[in-house]
Amino acid sequence: MGTVLAFDYGEKRIGVAVGETALGQAHPLEVIKAGSEAERLAAITRLVKEWQPELLVVGRPTHADGTPHEMTLRAHAFSLLLGGHFGLPVQEADERLTSRDAETRLRETGRNAKNMKPLLDAVAAQLILQTWFDFPHDPTPLPPA
């Protein structure tokens, strides 16, 4: 299929990862720290122009048992915003425990809490995308808003 960009949505930061479907391998890309929606969209627009993805993947946060909560709805709204703004298909992927897993992986590389913070959300996005590559997912993208 081609290039995929993945997002770990947060209200303060959005982690971004990139991967190629042919390789099935995700890589952390960057963390968007912009405050306003316009600034966030501008940063994402820059990445979409640079990487020219065929698909966008957004992490879907839920409780440990899979039930939705407030951030589930916000991440879904972000998915719809991306689909409508860029006209690209968007899929959501389970992101349970990705932030904790990202933190563990960064600690294993010798990073402490202070120097892992700039990377944490991008690594979480990488894990979201890798999960999407590794496990069967719903092939039906979300409809654009």
Instruction: Inform me whether the pLDDT recorded for 89 exceeds 70.
Output: yes
- The pairing of beta strand 14-20 with beta strand 25-32: antiparallel
Q: What angle do CA 116, 48, 51 make, to 5 degrees?
A: 80
Q: Report the predicted TM-score, pTM, of the whole model to 2 decimal places.
A: 0.82
| Residue 107: predicted pLDDT | 57
pLDDT in tens, 50-82: 999 999 999 988 877 878 888 889 999 999 999
pLDDT band (50, 70, 90) for residue 134: confident
Q: How far is residue 46's CA from residue 61's CA, in Å, rounded to a whole number?
A: 25
Q: Which residue has the tokens 């209200």?
A: 11
| Domains, the chain, with CATH or none | 3-13+27-134 (3.30.420.140)
The amino acid at residue 48 is V
Average pLDDT score, the chain: 83
Pairing status of strand 55-60 against strand 25-32: unpaired
CB 128, CB 6: distance < 8 Å: yes
